Each structure stands twice: as C-alpha cells, then as structure tokens.
Structure 1
Amino acid sequence: METYHVKSAPITPYVMLFVFCFTASISASCLTFFIPTMTLLATILSTTLIGISAVIVIRYICDSKYLFTLTFMHCQYHSRYGGWSTPWRNISQLGKAEISHQGWQQPLPWIGIKLNDYDDFIKNISPRLAARIIIEQRILLVMAIKHSDVDNHNIEDVLFDDEPYQSKNGNIFKGLRAMLAHRMEYNREFLGFDFFISEDTLDRPINDFIGLLRRYKAAAIRQ
C-alpha cells in the first residue's frame, strides 16, 4: 500500500478564538483613548487578551501538520512532543478502548494499541512524548482500576511505578522509560491495550480510523 499521511484534527476553533482575542485586545486598547477613567482596566484587559492570543498562535504554529504516517512497513506518530514508530507486525491488536464493570462494557473515546514486543518502542520513543503519554493517559488506568474487582492495587504505586524494568528480551530500562514500560503493562492488565490515541486528535470518526489502521496492518501481514 502507498504511504499515507493522516493530518491532525482541524484547528479551526483555535483560529476563530485567536481572531476573537485579537479583535477584543484591539478594542480594549482603543478604550484607553476614548474612556480615560477606564485606562487601567482597559490596559489590564488588553494585556490579558494579547497574552491569550499569543499562546494560541504558538499552539497553532507548533502543532504538527501530520498526525500519522502509514506505510506498508510501519505506523509512525508525530507530535510537537516528538513521536513513536512501530512495524505493523509488532502490533498484535487494535481497537476501541473499553472499561468492563459487572458484565457491562463502557466504550471510551480512545484507540487502544497492543504490541508484541516493547523493546524497540520504548527505546525509540521521544522522552517528551513518553512523559506526555504517562500524564495524559493516566485517567484511563485510574478509571479501569476503580471499576475492577481487584482491590490489592494502590493506585499511586501503579501510576508512578519507576522501578527498573527488565523486558522479555533482557533489556533493562530505567527512569522515564521504565515508568512507561510499567504503565503499558498495567494498561494491558486492566484495559487490554498498552497505550492509546485520543479521538480528539483524529481527523475522522474513531471507527473509521481504526478501520484504516487495520487495513494497513492486514496488507503488511499479507506481504
């Protein structure tokens, strides 16, 4: 299959908010000329709105043009925090994340990915992205543990497990990489997947994106 670039989710709301903030800041600045008694208030408001506008512009500039690159060999994720890449053959399962509780399945707006082997993924992932995954995806693990029937897990110990991690291949990871590896194991135990992709970042409905990934994976296996 041909290389396919998946663009990140539309950022039109950010642009609209920027235009609003910019217009509001100009309007607030004009108040200093026409309403002298409101000079201090207008200046504070103007400064605040300009600051918000600047943050949005930086976010707009820094966001990646592409979210994923799909080739016949691998799946690669891009972000302003770095990225990760894994061959299709190393992905054992793709699907929508769910939480099980008393026989009920609660779907979550996240795509789950389960790997055959952690080593290359852990070695090559951007440290900044690894930290981002640990922080942003912890809520999924918290919810899964709270809905599970297992009561012998201390949530804080699970979330911040940074003990040295030895993989099945004998590689030893420490620090942030060890924390990510442990997190992936806990995710697998309670959620069935190692890590996740938020629906909010996708350019299409979550089921369509899962279908796209599965088609590339199937094509890679056939070759």
Structure 2
Amino acid sequence: MKDNEILIKPVVKRNGLTFSFLGSLGVVAGISLFLFGSEFFAPGIVCFALGAIALVLGFSKLAEPEVSLKLTNEGFTYFHRRGQVSVAWENVQRIDQPRVTQGIDTIALPYIGVKVKHMSPVLEVISLRLAAGLLTEQRPLLMTASTQEEDLSVLENQMSAEFTPFIEDNDRFKGVLAMFGHRSRLLGSHLGYHLYISTDALDRPANEFIALMNQCKHSQVA
C-alpha cells in the first residue's frame, strides 16, 4: 500500500475459489451419478444443480476486481468489473447511506450514496461500459424512487429526459453518458444522492466505511 492510499477489498470477492472448486466437484459428481444408472438420476440432478449454482457463484466472485475502492489525497476511485470512475473530494458534497420511508418505518438501502456538486467531472472520466452497466444495475433504485414519488408523472417526465443531451454549465454529453447523467440527477432529486456504491463492494459495515470516507474527505487521508 502506498503512502496516503487506502485500498478496499470487497467482501463479495471472498471464497470465490472455494465455491468454484466445490461447484466443479458437484457438477462432476452429478454427471457420474447419471452414468451409474437411472436409480441415481434424482441425486445426480441435485448434485449437478447445486454444483452448477456454486460454480456460477464462484466465477462471479472471481470476476470481481481485487480492489473495489481506492481512497487517496485527491479523492476516491471506484473499481467495477465493467470499468472505473474517479471522484475528487472537492466535488463531493455528502456521503451517507440512503434511506427511504415505508409506511412508518425508515429503511436503509444497501448502498453508499455520494452526492456530488457537479456531474460533468464524473461524466468526463467514467468509462462507457461502466456507465452502461450501472444504468442496468440501478433499476432497483429507480423502482425505489418511484415508490417515494406521489406524483408519478414527475418521475416519468424525468425519465423521458434520459434520451436527450445532458447539459451542465458549458458541458454537453450525448448517448450513454447523457443517460447516466440524467439518471444520476433523477436519483439525486428523489433519493438524495447521485452515485451509489453497493455495500457488497465494502470490507466493513456501511457506517464504518462512511466514517472512513468522511474522515478522508475532511483530512485528505492524513
């Protein structure tokens, strides 16, 4: 680890090799039971199905980056299997865990929310593959936002704007970047944050990570 640099290794990455190994054994055992005769067909199906599930889960864990976040003096970088994006501390307005109301209860969402001052610096550095991937992954957040909006026509109008250029100050973005900019702005107006990091990408409880990020933001990783 370099000086003034904190690396976060995701919990979801753990046990990837174990799941892959056990999954391979399950698939092989299932195929072997098929070959032994029809009386072993049922247990063979069970072994093969469980093995396939474990194998897919193991491969998905191994596909995740070794480091999910890097905190430095300048800001933080979020690493995703589809790409990465960096955000300067000076562009961060607030970091917390987004919460929504459900009846009389307040529910914390499994994300770290980052409210930025300007989206243009983010759109300038985010990879196109990551922007496209996050648009898909954030659909549950979009559905959550819809449950918080009493007048759904407002949300529908904001969603229709995703297909238009995203303009901020003198910057203009088109295509996927425009869609991601509009989506971030929409989520910011309904859930309070523009960027969302899944808690699966963390190596500690959400409240501890939020405290760490705020400490880094205010002290610039002393």
TM bucket (normalised to shorter chain) is 0.7 to 0.9
Quote the residue 1:9 is aligned against: 11
* Structure 1 residues not aligned, in runs of 5+: none
1-structure distance, mates of 2:84, 2:14: 24
**1:142 deviation in Å?**
2.2
Return the match for 1:29 from 26, 31, 38. Answer: 31
Match of residue 198 from structure 1: 198
- Distance in 1 between the 2:89 and 2:160 partners? 28
Give the drift of 1:161: 1.8
SS in 2 for 1:66: coil
1:150-165 equivalences in 2 (<5 Å): 150-155=151-156, 158=159, 161-165=162-166
Q: Which moved more, 1:170-179 or 1:18-27?
A: 18-27
Q: How does 1:28-47 map to 2 (within 5 A)?
A: 28-31=30-33, 35-37=36-38
CA distance in 2, matches of 1:29, 1:107: 44
Partners in 1 of 2:104 and 2:49 — Cα distance? 50
Aligned pair in 2 of structure 1 residues 179, 29: CA closer, same or farther (>3 Å)? same
Mapped to 2, the partners of 1:159 and 1:212 lie a distance apart of: 37
How many Å separate the matches in 2 of 1:102 and 1:150?
Answer: 17
2:20 is aligned with 1:18: yes
Percentage of pairs with the same residue: 24
Q: Does the C-alpha gap of structure 1 residues 21 and 156 become closer, same or farther in structure 2, counting only changes over 3 Å? A: farther
Equivalent-residue separation in structure 1 for 2:192 and 2:49 (angstroms): 45
Query: Any residues of structure 2 matched to 1:71-150 within 5 Å, and which?
Result: 71-100=72-101, 105-150=106-151
CA contact (8 A) 1:161 1:182 kept: yes
Unaligned residue ranges in structure 2 (runs of 5+): none
Cα deviation 1:160-198 (Å, max 9, x = unaligned):
722111112x11111110001111111111111112111
C-alpha change, 1:184 and 1:73, in structure 2 (3 Å) is same
- CA–CA separation in structure 1 for the residues paired with 2:117 and 2:91: 5
Aligned CA-pair RMSD: 3.1
1:192/1:32 Cα in 2 relative to 1: closer, same or farther (>3 Å)?
closer
Q: Check conservation: 1:142, 1:155, Cα contact below 8 A.
A: no
Aligned to 2:68, the other structure's residue is in SS state strand
- Residues 100, 148 of structure 1: 8 Å contact kept: no
TM-score w.r.t. structure 1 length? Answer: 0.83
Q: Deviations over 1:36-72 (max 9, x none)?
A: 4479989988887776566445434422110111111
Using the TM superposition, give the Cα deviation of residue 120 of structure 1 relative to its aligned residue in structure 2, in angstroms.
Answer: 1.7
Q: 1:134 to 1:160 in 2, by over 3 A?
A: farther
Q: How many residues align structurally?
A: 220
Contact 1:145 1:155 in 2 (8 A): no
User: How has the CA–CA distance of structure 1 residues 20 and 57 changed in structure 2, closer, same or farther, with 3 Å as cutoff?
Assistant: closer
Give the TM-score normalised by the residue count of structure 2: 0.83
Is the 8 Å Cα contact of residues 141 and 190 (structure 1) preserved in structure 2?
Answer: no
Q: 1:10 to 1:107 in 2, by over 3 A?
A: closer
